[in-house]
Amino acid sequence: MRFYLIEDIKQGTLQWHEWRRGVIGSSEASIIMGENRWTNRQRLMDEKLGLVKPFAGNQATQQGDALKPKAIKALATHFNEKLKATIVQDAEEPCLAASLDAINENQDQIFEIKCGLKTYESVNRTGQVPSYYFAQLQHMLMVTQMESLIFAVYQPGKKLLVSEVPRNDSYIEILRHEELEFADDLHARGLRIQSDFRGYEVSNLIPEQEIEEILEIPKKVGWITEDGLTHYWDGESYIEGKEAGLYEIENSLQYWNGEEWFIPTKVKNYDLNGQVLFWNGKNWEYKVSDEIKKRNFILRFFRIYRD
């Protein structure tokens, strides 16, 4: 989840209409994707360029807008949440935005509300969100980087219909490409496309610096002691042995005991898994122990005496 929340523009005002000209909004997604049966890309482009008058709504849309406040109140009661309408902007592309019917107080859940009678009857009968809303809803999820949203259908005196709509990443990838291409075409024709971020950023993503602190990723190559165990960091990952034994690290022999790299504090011989090795303070050497030296001396003396 990551987006910019804009609170200084109110939906429905002249300022909002002017703002919408320079951005790609959710209601335009199906048009750009060629999935809108009432209009097309060229008509939308002409509207944004001021060549034709934009759709001003009809009786059905006006009735829907009039019911929105009651619908939001009913939805807030249903979810026991404080909801409000708002405008959001993509965190990476300023020209992608969405006017949301509602967002909760924690800013981690968004809502799209429909108040048309035909939509209510369709959803009530099929239990499915009409396919012609798919692009609009995926645009909202794209802009907010959320995993799902709540789709609600309201009619006075009737049961509130609510369903959760998940994001579709494969569709969003195509949608994003088409919308940015459309924005580039508008810019090439002289329209000033929104290029600045407004409002303030909302995110549940952990900054890279905090991730490194949480994971305690070493910044330098070398030996690291963590939780009492000695590890070696090569700049990208921790180096470990497949099984207990000697391994070459930075042109020196080091011993992996199966859990950590064994680096003694004293220079002397050590019995490592039945093998006597000598630690010289920097790396391991194959060296005969004093006990073996004594045994070899006795054997040599015996041979000399016998001869």
What are the residue ranges spanned by the domains of the chain? 2-203, 213-306
Domain 2-203 class? alpha beta
Q: Tokens for 115?
A: 């108040």
268 to 259, 261, 271, 273, 289: CA distances (angstroms): 22, 17, 10, 16, 9
Residue found by looking up tokens 């610096």 in the block = 209
pLDDT tens per residue, the chain (307 residues)?
A: 999 999 999 999 999 999 999 999 999 999 999 999 999 999 999 999 999 998 777 777 788 889 999 999 999 999 999 999 999 999 999 999 999 999 999 999 999 999 999 999 999 999 999 999 999 999 999 999 999 999 999 999 999 999 999 999 999 999 999 999 999 999 999 999 999 999 999 998 766 655 555 556 666 788 888 777 888 888 888 888 888 888 888 888 888 888 888 888 888 888 888 788 888 888 888 765 555 555 554 445 444 444 5
Q: Give 161's strand partners.
A: 153
Q: Please give the model's pTM, rounded to 2 decimal places.
A: 0.69
- Please answer whether residues 173 and 71 qualify as being in contact, where contact means their C-beta atoms are separated by less than 8 angstroms: no
Distance separating alpha carbons of residues 6 and 201, to the nearest angstrom:
9
CATH topology of domain 213-306: left handed beta-beta-3-solenoid (2.10.270)
CA distance 213 to 150: 35
Instruction: Determine how many CB atoms are found less than 10 A away from the CB of residue 37.
Output: 7
